[in-house]
């Protein structure tokens, strides 16, 4: 989109979706979303943290460590949601070859890796007092770790390509292959885990949570989701601007070269 | 069928003649397997217990090592561009290349497995079982390797990136491959693992040609 374009359609000529997805127009309209999103995220995060730290009971078995869950569970959810965003963006870059889809996929990868890492680290910190060990080859933890590896591979791949437009489409292929594989990996790890580790670990039962724990979890869940949305917007904008800067640099270099002789 | 066979024989000839590294991969496989006891210790019972896992890991690493030659040479000298003009669709060319690659890299490893099995003190029936699971499972490893190789074909620097992408994806193969040989607390788990392994291989054989061909097309643009 930043490469030389002979006739750029003005945003008004296009349909609604093409218009909001036009990179230039995206920069326009997303600008008005940043500060409201910052506000919503801050309020939700502050309220959620207040509930989590001061206005929710300590668990009668786990004690104060149950509060780690308010960070852990939303991160774990986002680690999977990010991949879904990347997979949908990958379809966008392969089917419609849309530059904004590339940008969206590229921006989501480091966010997904970060949330996965947060989920793993908070999980380990919670595991140390509760299970007595930082790491257990538990099915869920193992597949989250593999998820992190997949994110890291994709980020590493983004960094090796010089031509980011071509990179977007090629990485879309591997993202989709990964998307097919993630459920298989999850299943196989669960299966492997039941084979090799017959001792069952203590698990928090979902539906029996009291509302005093459920409410902060709910608020933090939305706070993290809005945080992701905000960060995704910002890094998409940054990526578009970075590509433009690169294109301008390249144009300038070409001008210099043609002027010289 | 004729262009398919032509493609197959071409790749097999290239792999076995001067400059082909089928033998190198085989040596790497044996050496990786033989070097494990130096780290683990020469305890025969322990080696026998870890044997199937060691053999599978060695096979996985050796196949990763050989991946780069699957598409890179053809991409660099332009053969891949010429192949896109062939009457055979690129997907079928990928299938032919995968078959040739399996015959020239994975098959020698499987044939040489008894040597490793003797070094690792495996029983006869366990050796046969490992060989059988390798026969069933290595096509899946090659398939994912082909996707990784196709995705990274246009990258000039960064030969290490393909294994990074492929390793997480080959975890299911490794899990089912090793579980189909060794132990298990649950009855019939070995047979179930073998069936899952076979299913996984078939699945990867179905979608790999399309994914790899798509990546190759994108890389050539």
pLDDT per residue over A205-233, tens digit each?
444 566 777 788 888 889 999 999 999 99
| Pairwise CA distance, residues A51 & A63, whole Å | 16
pLDDT given at position A73: 87
Q: Could you tell me the CA-to-CA distances from B44 to A203, B37, B40, B117, B118 in Å, in that order?
A: 39, 9, 10, 12, 11
Q: Which of A150, A152, A160 sits opposite B155 (nearest CB)?
A: A160
Closest to A219 in 3D by CA, of A111, A65, A74 = A74
Which residues of chain A make contact with B186, given a CB cutoff of 8 A? Answer: 194-195
* Confidence at residue B57, expressed as pLDDT on a 0 to 100 scale: 92
- What is the pLDDT at residue A185? 83
**CA A229, A230, A235, A240 torsion: positive or negative?**
positive
Q: Residue A233 has which token pair?
A: 């917007």
d(CA B58, CA B33): 6
CB contact under 8 A, A146 and B171: yes
Nearest-by-Cβ selection for B151 from A173, A180, A191 = A173
- Residue A194 is encoded by which pair of tokens? 């039941």
d(CA B56, CA B182): 12
Q: Which of A173, A175, A176, A179 to mutate to test the interface with B (most CBs of B within 10 A)?
A: A173
pLDDT at residue A208 in the model: 57
Please state, in angstroms and rounded to a whole number, the distance separating the CA atoms of residues B182 and B193. 10
Per-residue tokens: B164:
């990074």
pLDDT at residue A213, as a whole number:
74
In chain B, residues with a C-beta closer than 8 Å to the C-beta of A170 are 151, 154, 215, 218-219
pLDDT of residue A3: 46
Extract the tokens encoding B70. Answer: 């699957």
Closest CA to A102 of A231, A258, A236: A236
Host domain of residue B169: 2-220
Confidence at residue A196, expressed as pLDDT on a 0 to 100 scale: 60
Q: Considering only CA atoms, which of B209, B200, B216 is closest in space to residue B81?
A: B216
Nearest CA in chain A to B216: A170
Alpha helices in A96-206 (DSSP H): 99-130, 139-160, 164-196
Q: Is B195 near chain A, with CB under 8 Å?
A: no
Tokens of A129: 């007092």
CB contact under 8 A, B168 and A149: yes
Cα(A175)–Cα(A83) distance, integer angstroms: 8
Tell me which residues of chain A have a pLDDT lower than 70: 1-14, 59-62, 194-210, 260-261
Q: Are A161 and B158 in contact, with CB atoms under 8 Å apart?
A: no
Domain tally, chain B: 1
pLDDT in tens, B159-202: 788 888 999 988 889 988 888 887 555 567 778 888 889 999 99
Mutate to test the interface with A, among B141, B168, B189, B217 (most CBs of A within 10 A): B168
Q: Quick check: helix, strand or coil at residue A134?
A: coil
Q: What ipTM was assigned to the predicted interfaces of this complex?
A: 0.87
pLDDT-flagged residues of chain B (< 50): none
d(CA A220, CA A72): 10
The answer to whether the CB atoms of B165 and A176 lie below 8 A apart is: no
Supply the pLDDT for residue A111. 94
Q: In this complex, do A188 and B155 lie within 8 Å of one another by their Cβ atoms?
A: no
């Amino acid at each position: 989109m930043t490469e030389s374009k002979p006739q750029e359609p003005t945003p008004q000529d296009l349909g609604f979706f093409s218009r909001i997805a036009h990179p230039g127009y995206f920069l326009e309209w997303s600008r008005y979303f940043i500060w409201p999103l910052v506000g919503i995220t801050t309020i939700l995060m502050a309220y959620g943290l207040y509930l989590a730290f001061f206005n929710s009971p300590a668990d009668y078995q786990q004690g104060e460590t149950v509060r780690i869950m308010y960070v852990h569970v939303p991160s774990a959810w986002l680690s999977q949601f990010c991949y879904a965003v990347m997979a949908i963006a990958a379809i966008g870059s392969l089917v419609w070859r849309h530059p904004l889809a590339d940008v969206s996929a590229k921006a989501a990868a480091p966010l997904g890796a970060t949330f996965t890492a947060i989920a793993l680290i908070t999980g380990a910190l919670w595991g140390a007092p509760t299970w007595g060990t930082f790491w257990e080859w538990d099915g869920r933890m193992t597949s989250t770790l593999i998820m992190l590896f997949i994110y890291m591979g994709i980020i590493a791949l983004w960094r090796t390509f010089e031509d980011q437009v071509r990179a977007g489409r090629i990485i879309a292929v591997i993202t989709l292959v990964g998307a097919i594989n993630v459920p298989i990996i999850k299943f196989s790890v669960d299966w492997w885990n039941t084979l090799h580790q017959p001792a069952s670990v203590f698990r928090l039962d979902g539906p029996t949570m009291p509302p005093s724990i459920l409410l902060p979890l709910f608020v933090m869940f939305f706070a993290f989701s809005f945080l992701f949305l905000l960060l995704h917007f910002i890094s998409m904008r940054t990526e578009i601007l970075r590509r433009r800067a690169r294109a301008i640099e390249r144009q300038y270099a070409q001008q210099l070269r043609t002027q010289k002789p | 069928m004729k262009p398919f066979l032509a493609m197959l024989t071409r790749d097999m000839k290239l792999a076995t003649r001067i400059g082909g590294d089928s033998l190198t991969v085989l040596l790497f496989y044996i050496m990786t397997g033989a070097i494990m006891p130096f780290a683990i210790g020469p305890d025969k019972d322990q080696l026998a217990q870890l044997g199937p896992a060691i053999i599978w890991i060695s096979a996985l690493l050796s196949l990763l090592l050989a991946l780069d030659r699957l598409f890179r040479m053809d991409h660099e000298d332009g053969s891949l561009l010429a192949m896109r003009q062939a009457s055979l669709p690129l997907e079928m060319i990928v299938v032919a290349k995968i078959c040739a690659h399996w015959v020239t890299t994975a098959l020698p490893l499987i044939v040489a497995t008894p040597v490793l099995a003797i070094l690792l003190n495996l029983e006869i029936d366990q050796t046969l079982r490992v060989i059988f699971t390798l026969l069933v499972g290595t096509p899946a490893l090659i398939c994912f390797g082909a996707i990784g190789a196709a995705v990274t074909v246009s990258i000039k620097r960064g030969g290490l990136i393909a294994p990074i992408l492929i390793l997480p994806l080959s975890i299911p193969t490794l899990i089912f491959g090793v579980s189909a040989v060794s132990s298990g607390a649950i009855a019939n788990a070995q047979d179930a693992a073998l069936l899952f392994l076979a299913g996984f291989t078939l699945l990867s054989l179905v979608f790999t040609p399309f994914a790899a061909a798509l990546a190759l097309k994108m890389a050539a643009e």
